Amino acid sequence: MENLKQKTEPATGASVQMTYLDALMQAQFEEMERDERVFLMGEDISVYGGDKLVERFGKNRVWNMPISEGSFTGLGIGAAINGSRPIVDLSIASFVYLASDQIINQAAKLRYMTGGQIDIPIVFRCCMFSVGSKAAQHADRPYPFFMNVPGLKIISPTSPADIKGLMKSAVRDGNPVLVFEDTRLWPLKGDVPTDPDFLVPIGKADIKREGTDVTLIAIAGAIRPTMEAVNALSAEGISVEVIDPRTLKPLDHQTFKKSVAKTGRLLIVENAHQVCNVGSEISAVMAEEAFDLLKKPILRVCAPDIHVPFSPALEKDFFPSKNDIIAAVRRLL
């Protein structure tokens, strides 16, 4: 199956304001309109926001699945091999573990194993429900596991326009793509282009805010406390450059390096556990390729190497907060 060519320029036409969740639904809706090979399968998908999709496309293209992630993920991969372009909604990112053999051993490897004879155009949606006492077995942010697998692309958009544009790029990509959406971002509103061919390219970071003193790379839901921290610091005259990678695999190291060349200081903020997370990878690459640009050691602010607590009192202090981020920026100055 062909890889559809992607438009790389942002759309210049009309846009409307909507939430992150609505932009995500619109992306799926438009891609299903555009290409009849696209269909949706997963748990609860005709319940949570999926009802409009069922109304428009019928139950032949919106499949409710049993609680059996390994089997329905395998079914989706088989459909992709045979010419469909499924969007598999795994509903909670912690459930992806159950489907990981299918994703890693089949979806990520079959093109390689067959010498390029098989394409697997499939999208896996993994929603990260990290707060609100979801507790250890439902609150994981498991994208670092999958970054360690060759053959997968991974996106983690943080704005309504980016989730729409990147989700559409994922559907059109032609390779297995994992979408890690942080549910803390669902209510955020922003301008979203109405052009049905508006795409955000996979692999390109976005500079959310320009700055000169410190480079701050914020991953997924960490963008919210990051922007609060950076606004507070800006009132004191501290200028932080905020970069949202948007894609976690491949990472846009060029954009990171360009910013570090300007600031000489690097902080990475994310909600994944600290051992072998995205910050670890970015730190390693910057140490290898941009060491001479750094004026201070690289810092990371992330979740500790313990499980997410159920207790609201403990959970409140678990993920990076505005104050943690402000303190880390001060350490770098």
Partner 1 sequence: MTTEVIMPSSGMGIEEATVVKWLKNVGDQVNEGEVIAEVETAKATVEVEAPASGTLASIVADEGATVEVNAVIGMIEE
List, by residue number, the catalytic residues. Answer: 69, 138
Select 127 or 329, whichever has its Cβ closest to partner 1: 127
Phi, psi of 192 (to 5 degrees): -125, 125
Rg of the chain's alpha carbons, rounded to an integer?
20
Q: To the nearest 10°, report the CA torsion of 304, 210, 198, 9.
A: -130
Q: Does 49 bind partner 1 (CB under 8 A)?
A: yes
Q: Does 131 bind partner 1 (CB under 8 A)?
A: yes
Q: Does 321 bind partner 1 (CB under 8 A)?
A: no
Q: Does 19 bind partner 1 (CB under 8 A)?
A: yes
Q: Does 15 bind partner 1 (CB under 8 A)?
A: no
Residue listed under structure tokens 């004879």: 117
Torsion sign, CA atoms 138, 144, 145, 150: positive
Q: Does 147 bind partner 1 (CB under 8 A)?
A: no
Q: By rule CB under 8 A, what string of x and - marks binding of each residue 180-199 to partner 1?
A: ---xx-xx------------
Select 20 or 72, whichever has its Cβ closest to partner 1: 20
Q: Which two structure tokens, joined as six digits, stand for 316?
A: 């409140």
DSSP-derived secondary structure letter, 266: E
Shortest distance, CB of residue 220 to partner 1, whole angstroms? 14
Shortest distance, CB of residue 313 to partner 1, whole angstroms? 14
Contact, 133 vs 312, CB < 8 A?
A: yes
Compute the distance between CA of residue 40 and CA of residue 238 in angstroms, rounded to an integer. 46
CA end-to-end span of the chain, whole Å? 51
Q: Does 164 bind partner 1 (CB under 8 A)?
A: no
Binding site for partner 1 (CB under 8 A): 19-21, 48-49, 127, 129, 131-132, 183-184, 186-187
